[in-house]
Amino acid sequence: MKNSKMQVALNEALLAKNEGEVPVGAAIFLGDTLIASAHNETVKTKQADAHAELLAIRKATEILGDWRLSECELYVTLEPCAMCCGAILLSKIKRIYFGAYDSQSGVCGGKIDITGENLFGSQPEIYGGIYELECQRLLSDFFSNLRNEKNKN
């Protein structure tokens, strides 16, 4: 499936990988217009909450001048965690499109699903598995290389 919007998120994930960050990228669109994009920066900032989704949401709210992103769509390469999903729900994002499922900490169906509970008065549409193989491969290669480097030392 060809999806240029998810490609923006994948490009952000590649930037993260090149910076030694866990390769997760996110992009927020309003219709066909890219509002904001970001990638993980937890290593760079030494902040546990510097996830791609949160950084993209912060940028989008600054650009749009409103904390409500109710007409926006989020594209992210990895299924959101609980922290990110909380921010997504609070910002009232309309749709979430994600690549790889996360069986350890995903909360959009990978491990659990909190999106169908109408938490915070928001219930976004969820679409998983967009560019799933590319997203999975990027993550698995990153962690495999990390383990190999650790074993060398």
Mean pLDDT, residues 118-128 taken together: 86
pLDDT, tens digit, for every residue of 55-65?
999 999 999 99
Between helix 82-90 and helix 52-64 the angle, nearest 10°, is 20
Q: Active site includes 149?
A: no
The torsion region of residue 42 among left (phi > 0), alpha (psi -120 to 50) and beta comes to: alpha
The torsion region of residue 28 among left (phi > 0), alpha (psi -120 to 50) and beta comes to: beta
What's the pLDDT at 153?
Answer: 64
Instruction: Evaluate if residue 142 carries a pLDDT over 90.
Output: yes
d(CA 6, CA 82): 21
Name the token pair of 133.
Answer: 């193989």
What's the pLDDT at 1?
Answer: 44
Q: Which of 41, 53, 73, 79 is catalytic?
A: 53
Which residue do the tokens 């994600």 mark?
Answer: 98
Instruction: Evaluate if residue 32 carries a pLDDT over 80.
Output: yes
CB 93 within 8 A of CB 108: no
- This prediction's pTM: 0.93
